[in-house]
Chains A and B, each alone.
Chain A
Amino acid sequence: QITLKESGPTLVKPTQTLTLTCTFSGFSLSTRGVAVGWIRQPPGKALEWLALIYWDDDKRYSSSLKSRLTITKDTSKNQVVLTVTNMDPLDTATFYCVRYDSTTAVEYWGQGTLVTVSS
């Protein structure tokens, strides 16, 4: 059974750096073809694809947010970490951790974690 769970702060101040951790089970990020990524959704708005990291450490980022995002993996811990620098109130969103497959796109989603940016 594949599961993913996001963890991290629920409230951050403007200009701070957000660090979110995705802990997953039921698969290995060292398996060829597997990737884990992040998608966010501001309240009442659409989904926004953020970043993806592959089994071979290939990393892909949103064009508009690339300068602020870093995605890393710890295969031994079954974790993927996303950092977002210089947080702004407009970054308030639910952040989802996902498992991506090159054929089926996103079959598995975490429950999501709401991050609010406010002073």
Chain B
Amino acid sequence: DVQMTQSPSTLSASVGDRVTITCRASQTITNWLAWYQQKPGKAPNLLIYKASSLESGVPSRFSGSGSGTEFTLTISSLQPDDFATYYCQQYNVYPFTFGPGTKVHIK
């Protein structure tokens, strides 16, 4: 299976901060990577697909980059609604696998 790791596991940030989360795959997944945001008690919400494509309706402060085995999710200016847990998922190789998540806290 493709193992996905994320760093950091948690981060504290302030409103307006630029935030970057890294996701690494144990083997190349080309650009078949998605990012999701999850808030407590809710289903995840797709933010980014194919590593860098912004899902419709998602604010432009979210962006994704990377290919191969290393990927990043960037929030250009953190907003109060962005405090949540973020997961990456590879969908290049079965079984599709998720990263362990990154929880973004308010500093």
Q: Which residues of A contact B (CB under 8 A)?
A: 39, 46-49, 52, 60-63, 96, 100, 102-107, 109-112
Contacts and interface: CB of A to CB of B under 8 A. Distances in A.
24 contacts: A46-B99, A46-B100, A46-B101, A47-B38, A47-B87, A47-B89, A47-B101, A48-B98, A49-B96, A49-B97, A49-B98, A63-B1, A63-B95, A96-B44, A100-B91, A105-B49, A105-B89, A105-B91, A105-B96, A107-B49, A107-B55, A109-B44, A110-B43, A112-B43
Nearest to A52: B96
A107 to B, nearest CB: 5
Contacts of A46: 87, 98-101
Nearest to A64: B1
A105 B48 CA distance: 9
A63 B93 CA distance: 12
Contacts of B100: 46
Interface of B: 1, 32, 34, 36, 38, 43-46, 49-50, 53, 55, 87, 89, 91, 94-101
A105 to B, nearest CB: 4
Tell me the dominant secondary structure on chain A's binding face: strand
Contacts of A104: 34, 46, 49-50, 53, 55
A102 B96 CA distance: 11
B96 A107 contact: no
Contacts of A39: 98
A112 B99 CA distance: 19
